[in-house]
Structure 1
Amino acid sequence: MVKKLVVQVATVVAAGLLASGAAQAQETKLALGMSGWTGFAPLTLADKAGIFKKNGLDVELKMIPQKDRHLALASGAIQCAATTVETHVAWNANGVPITQIFQMDKSYGADGLAVRNDVKGFADLKGKAIGVSAPGTAPYFGLAWMLSKNGMSLKDVKLVSLEPQPAAQAFVAGQNDAAMTYEPYLSTVRSNPTAGKILATTLDYPMVMDTVGCAPTWLKANAKAAQALANSYFEALEMIKADPAKSNEIMGAAVKQPGEKFAESSKYLRWQDKAANQKFFAGELMQFMRESVPILLEAGVIRKAPDDLNATFDASFIK
C-alpha cells in the first residue's frame, strides 16, 4: 500500500515537473531594444513584475541607443523595438522594415530644448552650439521640428553630438549654448535654473510619441507573442494605477531613481491605454507620419519617403 502511494506521489510530481517544463518551453523568446526614456518604463515593469512571463513571453530588454537600434533590428539581434513614430518612418524609408503594433506614450513636456537665460527666442539660437543626439534620434528630429516651425533649420545652428543624458549634464556644467534632451534628464535642467531655462517642450510642439514595432517577418510567424507583448504593456499600465508606489519604485530603479523622483518625471508624459491606442491608430498616427516625412527629408535623415506608410503599422493587436 505504502509502495503504491509512493509510486502515485512520484507520478504526480513527475507530471507536475513535465507540465512546468512544458509551460517554460512554450514561452516565446523575444529581444526588445529600448532606452531609459521614462515613457518606456512600463516595459521594465512588465518584465520585473513577471507580467511578460505570465503571458508566455521570455523577454530580454536590451538598452540600445536610438541611433543604433535599427542596426540591431536589421541584424536580428532584436525582434522588436520601442522608439518614436518618425523613427519607425525613417527605418522603413532606409530599408529596415518594422511594423508598429501599439503606442506607448505621448510626451507632454517631457522633451525639451534647454537654453541659456539670455536667449529670448529661437532666432537667438542662430550660430549657437546645441548638444543633441545623432541623426535618426528623437532629440535630433525634435530639434529639427522646432526649428522648422520657427522658420529655421539645423543648418542655422552648430550641432554637438551628445546623447540625452550627457547633453543635459554638459549644459548644466556650462558647456554649449543649448541642449535638446528628455526626461528624466530634462529635470536636471529644471532643478538648475541658474544654468539656464527651457525654451520649449512638447507642450508647445507635440511631436514626440512612442510606439513598439516588430520586424514584419517575426511578426508574421509570432502573432500570438506579439499580442501577448501588447497585452503585457496594457496590464503594466493597470498595475501602475492599482499600485503606483510599488510600480514607481520598480520603474525608477531601472534608471537609478527613487520611486518619488521617477513619479515626478513621469508627470510630463501620458502612457497610452488601449482606448487611447485605438483612437491614435484610427487617424492621428497616419496624420503625424505624413507631416514628419518632409522634416525627415530636410534634416537628411531619409533620402526618400517610404513607399507605403500604411505598411508601417498593424492595428490588429490593440482591438
Structure 2
Amino acid sequence: MSKMFFQTGRKKSFSSYKLAISAAIALGITASSVAQAADTPVAIGISGWTGFAPLTLADKAGIFKKNGLDVTLKKVPQQSRHLAIASGDLQCAATTVETYLTWNAAGVAVKQIVQLDKSYGADGIAVRPGINKITDLKGKTISVDAPGTSSYFLLAWMLDKNGMSVKDVKLATLGPDAAAHAFLAGQNDAAVSYEPYLSSIRQSPDKGKILATTLDYPMVMDTLGCTPDFLNKNPKAAQALVNSYFEALAMIKSDPDKSNEIMGAAVKETGKQFAEEASYLRWQDLEQNKKFFGGEITSFSKEAATLLTQMKILRKTPDYDALFDPQFVANASVAK
C-alpha cells in the first residue's frame, strides 16, 4: 500500500500527500498497526538456567520486539519441553545439544539454529565429605533429574569416563533446583545441578563440596532450536531470533551492569549475584557459532549418540544433518 501512495515516479503535491494519509487512516493502515501486524508470534521454552539469560534480556530490553518478533518465553521442565513442542504450545526451545538427539528420535523434529552457551563449571556434581573421586560414587545415592535431561546425561557422561554407568549408583529423581535444596537439607550422598542452584552449594562448604564440573568434563552446551515447520514458514523470523541473540550479547558487552540487573531480576537475583553465576559459562558469539556449526556440533552429537545408545535411550543412529540448520548463523548480522 505504501508503494502505491508514495513511491510512484511522479512528484506528489502536498494535497495529494494529505489525501494519501487520509486514505491510509481510513483503511486502518497506520504505521503502528503495520508494525504490530509484522510482529511474528513465537513461544520459546526455557528454564531458569543462567545460559538462557540472553534470551530473557532480548525480551525485556525490547530487542525481540524491535526486530519484528512477538516472543513469549515459557518456563517448561526440560523433560517435558518436547511434549510442549509436539502439542504446538511451543515453536522453539533452548536445551542442550544431546537433548535434540532424543527429541528427534522420539518423533519431535527440532532443528538447532544458534548456539547459546558452553558451560565452564556451571554444571556439576556436589558430594558429601569423604567422597573424593568419581569412582567413590559407586553404590551412593545421587539426586539427579530424569533420563533425557542434561543433568542425567552429565552424570552418565562423567561415570562413563571413569569406567562406570548409572547402574553403579542409586538414583533419586529430582530436578536441578530440588536436587540442590535436598542436598543442602542433608538428603542423599550427592546431587547433580547447575547454576544458579549450584552456587547455593558452593556457598555452603559445611554441607559438602563440588566434586567435578564441566571444567573437568567439558560436555554441556546449549542451543536454540525450532520446529522445521516454523523455520520453513517463518525464515525471516528465525533470522531475527538469531540476530536478536547476538544483539543481546552486544548489549551485555556494552552495558554489563544494566544487562546483569535485567537478567538477574528474571531469577530474583541482584545483578552482582547473576554476574558471579554467569562467570561459570561462556555465551557464544558469532565467530564461535560459525566454528560450532562448521563441525563441532556433528562430532559432539556422534559421541553423545554413542553413549545414549549404550544407555538404551537412543534405539537407532540419527540423521545428524537433520539436527541443525546453519544458514541463520551464516547470514547473521551483529549489532555494532
1:57 equivalent among 69, 86, 105: 69
Distance in structure 2 (CA, Å) of the matches to 1:17 and 1:133: 51
Tell me, yes or no, if structure 1 residue 213 matches structure 2 residue 225: yes
Corresponding residue for residue 305 of structure 2: 293
Kindly, what percent of the aligned residue pairs are identical? Answer: 64
Equivalent residues in 2 for 1:44-193, closer than 5 Å: 44-193=56-205
Letter of the 2:148 partner, please give it: G
How far apart are residue 302 of structure 1 and its match?
2.1
Alignment coverage as a number of residue pairs = 313
1:250 equivalent among 262, 274, 280: 262
Q: Deviations over 1:141-191 (max 9, x none)?
A: 000000000000000011101010110111011101000000000001100
Letter of the 1:195 partner, please give it: K
User: In terms of Rg, which structure is larger?
Assistant: 2
Q: Secondary structure at the match of 2:171?
A: strand
Letter of the 2:327 partner, please give it: S
Distance in structure 1 (CA, Å) of the matches to 2:35 and 2:280: 39
How far apart are residue 122 of structure 1 and its match?
1.5
1:241 equivalent among 246, 253, 271: 253
Corresponding residue for residue 225 of structure 1: 237
Q: Deviations over 1:205-228 (max 9, x none)?
A: 011000001001111111100000
Distance in structure 2 (CA, Å) of the matches to 1:254 and 1:13: 41
Q: Deviations over 1:110-152 (max 9, x none)?
A: 0000001110211211111100011111000000000000000
Q: Secondary structure at the match of 2:328?
A: helix
Q: Deviations over 1:90-117 (max 9, x none)?
A: 1112211111001000000000000011
User: For structure 2, which runs of at least 5 residues remain unmatched after alignment?
Assistant: 1-14, 331-336
Distance in structure 1 (CA, Å) of the matches to 2:95 and 2:316: 20
Q: Deviations over 1:12-36 (max 9, x none)?
A: 9948971110110010000000101
Letter of the 1:160 partner, please give it: A
Q: Secondary structure at the match of 1:136?
A: coil
Distance in structure 2 (CA, Å) of the matches to 1:300 and 1:190: 33
Q: Secondary structure at the match of 1:199?
A: strand
Greater mean alpha carbon deviation, residues 118-127 or residues 242-251: 118-127
Tell me, yes or no, if structure 1 residue 29 matches structure 2 residue 15: no
